[in-house]
Structure 1
Amino acid sequence: MPELPEVEGVVRALAPAATGRTIREVTISDIVIQSKQLGKEAVLKGITTEDFIVEMAGMMIKDITRRSKYIYFHLLKDGNECLLVSHLGMTGAWFTVASLEEITELKFRKHAHVIFTMEDGGLLVYSDIRRFGEVRLVGCEADHPPLLKMAPEPFDAEACQHFLDMAATPKYARKPIKEVIMDGQVISGCGNIYATEALFKMAMHPARVTEQVSLKWKKELFAVIVAILQESIDAGGSSISDYRNINGEAGTMQDRLKMYGRKICFACGVSTESMKIAGRTSVYCPDCQK
């Protein structure tokens, strides 16, 4: 699943390509339409396809920003501002192209589910192979309360103290440290990849109980997480599985990962082990991480 660095890469590429353009019309894939008719919510969330098509026509994209793992399209229509929120899920991707044929990977071209035709004739396309992502139109963040529960951005001054405060609460104190740092209400944007890398760098076992981690080590762990997230942003994110930047571009952070997905420890050469934490596979070195 794309994490903060991957989403940041998408936003940095998407913003200059789409900001200032106006949407003329919207096309929704048959599979999403059928899903909505069956009372399900594949990709398009919280609104009917008919209402979405009407509401989005004439929208001008004022800006595109990132909040945690979400992409925010700031929109303007008839003097009214609103927000299109997108989460990439497992396999979501955005494309700015002249035609669908320009999407070179067939799997993304076949799964183009929301197609915005712009006034200039170009296309802004959301593709999602497994359809776990979402596109949601709201007036503002408060219209979708889960958005308000996200932790501060990890690069913000208050983010470390927020992490320390949350980690000390009864809800999190007895949980494994890996589960805590992957929780978006504790640290924004740190998922399985970068939590794995940070814990390896700290020589910390992913199942260590959070209240057993000293304040000093919590502070150091947070600083390591921030540094790894920044390193990945600079590298364009990790192109693992079906993650792509806009228009199919790949990042290079996957070449720098020292523990995630490895069978042999990068540091000591011992075979890695894995366990399930919060439903995710956690890879670690049984010798290096205690």
Structure 2
Amino acid sequence: MPELPEVEGVVRLIRPAVEGRTVQEVTVSETVRESKAGGKDAILKRITEDAFIEEMTGATFRSVERRSKYIYFMMEKEGPFLFINHLGMTGAWFHVEALDGIREEKFRRHVHIVFTLDDGSLFVYSDIRRFGEMRLLQDESGYPPLLLMAPEPFGEDALHHFLDMSNRPKYARKPIKEVIMDGQVISGCGNIYATEALFREKIRPDRQAGDLPEEQKTALFRTVSSILAESIEAGGSTISDYRNINGESGSMQHRLKMYGKKQCPDCGAETEKMTIGGRTSVFCPSCQK
């Protein structure tokens, strides 16, 4: 699943491609139409395909921002509204002149939303597993989970928020790995970067959050934010299906020391796995205590 750095990389490339552009035409795939006809709310959440097409046709992309792992498109059409996108597991955006400009066949075969822009170019959403989400809202209050997201992880307010939340009974008894992956506690930290941060701080992923002293939790938070910032500059991590809108991969995966590793790079011990919060956690049983 694309995490904060990958989404930030996508947003930085989306901005010059779509800001100021107006949607001339919208196409929704037959796959999405058939899925919704069968009672599944595939990609387009709480809106019909035809209503989505009607609302987006003639709308202008005013600005594009990232909030945690969400992409916020600020739109204008007889007034402002929000177009929210979450990439899910395999969502990807492409800005091309024609669909054959998408280089990889697996993404071409799973194109689900196509916006034809006023310069003739195509702004294309592909999603192999269709776990991504699109919502049209008047503001964030139209989808309450957005209001619960933690502050962006690069400021002191985010550290104070993390320390406060991690001490609450709801989180204090949970494994620290699960806590730092919770978007209401730290914004945008998923499995990859949680694994790396815990390894760098030599903390076992199953340690209860309430057992960690504040000094150690502060160091862990700063490491999480540092790794996220490092990954943004590296273009994110490409583990399987992440691509930016030019179809390019990130390079942060080459810097990862623990995620997906079978041997600890520091002590040479064989790594172990456990499941925490439904995700596989890799750790060094010797270095991480």
How far is 1:216 from its partner? 0.5
CA–CA distance in 1 between the matches of 2:279 and 2:103?
31
Q: Structure 2 regions of 5+ residues with no counterpart?
A: none
Aligned residue for 2:228, secondary structure, equals: helix
Query: Where in structure 2 are the equivalents of 1:110-129 lying within 5 Å?
Result: 110-129=109-128
CA–CA distance in 2 between the matches of 1:85 and 1:261?
31
How far is 1:81 from its partner? 0.4
How far is 1:172 from its partner? 0.3
CA–CA distance in 2 between the matches of 1:230 and 1:280?
23
Per the alignment, residue 152 of structure 1 pairs with: 151
Per the alignment, residue 183 of structure 2 pairs with: 184
- Deviation digits for residues 127-152 of structure 1 (CA, Å, limit 9, x no counterpart): 00000111111111111101101000
| Deviating more after overlay: 135-144 vs 94-103 | 135-144
CA–CA distance in 2 between the matches of 1:196 and 1:119?
43
Aligned residue for 1:190, secondary structure, equals: coil
- Deviation digits for residues 165-187 of structure 1 (CA, Å, limit 9, x no counterpart): 10011100000000000000000
Per the alignment, residue 99 of structure 2 pairs with: 100
CA–CA distance in 2 between the matches of 1:57 and 1:218?
48
Q: Which amino acid aligns with 2:238?
A: S
CA–CA distance in 2 between the matches of 1:97 and 1:139?
29
Per the alignment, residue 282 of structure 1 pairs with: 281
Per the alignment, residue 33 of structure 1 pairs with: 33
How far is 1:36 from its partner? 1.1
Per the alignment, residue 74 of structure 2 pairs with: 74
- Deviation digits for residues 213-262 of structure 1 (CA, Å, limit 9, x no counterpart): 00110111000001000000010000111011112111100000000000
Per the alignment, residue 212 of structure 2 pairs with: 213
Query: Where in structure 2 are the equivalents of 1:218-229 lying within 5 Å?
Result: 218-229=217-228
CA–CA distance in 1 between the matches of 2:71 and 2:156?
22
- Is the aligned partner of 1:57 residue 2:57? yes
Q: Which amino acid aligns with 1:119?
A: D
CA–CA distance in 2 between the matches of 1:13 and 1:269?
39
TM-score by length of 1: 0.99
Aligned residue for 2:246, secondary structure, equals: helix
How far is 1:157 from its partner? 2.8
CA–CA distance in 2 between the matches of 1:255 and 1:205?
23
- Is the aligned partner of 1:232 residue 2:231? yes
Aligned residue for 1:282, secondary structure, equals: strand
Q: Which amino acid aligns with 1:48?
A: T
- Deviation digits for residues 35-58 of structure 1 (CA, Å, limit 9, x no counterpart): 111121111111000100000000
TM-score by length of 2: 0.99
Aligned residue for 2:10, secondary structure, equals: helix
Aligned CA RMSD, in angstroms, stands at 0.6
Aligned residue for 1:153, secondary structure, equals: coil
How far is 1:66 from its partner? 0.1
Query: Where in structure 2 are the equivalents of 1:254-273 lying within 5 Å?
Result: 254-273=253-272
Per the alignment, residue 135 of structure 1 pairs with: 134
CA–CA distance in 1 between the matches of 2:162 and 2:25?
43
CA–CA distance in 2 between the matches of 1:56 and 1:68?
24
How far is 1:4 from its partner? 0.3
- Is the aligned partner of 1:6 residue 2:41? no
- Deviation digits for residues 245-281 of structure 1 (CA, Å, limit 9, x no counterpart): 1121111000000000001111111110000000000
CA–CA distance in 1 between the matches of 2:219 and 2:121?
47
Could you list the structure 1 runs, at least 4 aligned residues long, displaced by more than 6 angstroms after superposition: none
CA–CA distance in 1 between the matches of 2:117 and 2:49?
18
CA–CA distance in 2 between the matches of 1:156 and 1:285?
30
CA–CA distance in 2 between the matches of 1:126 and 1:134?
11
Q: Which amino acid aligns with 2:39?
A: G
| Deviating more after overlay: 61-70 vs 114-123 | 114-123
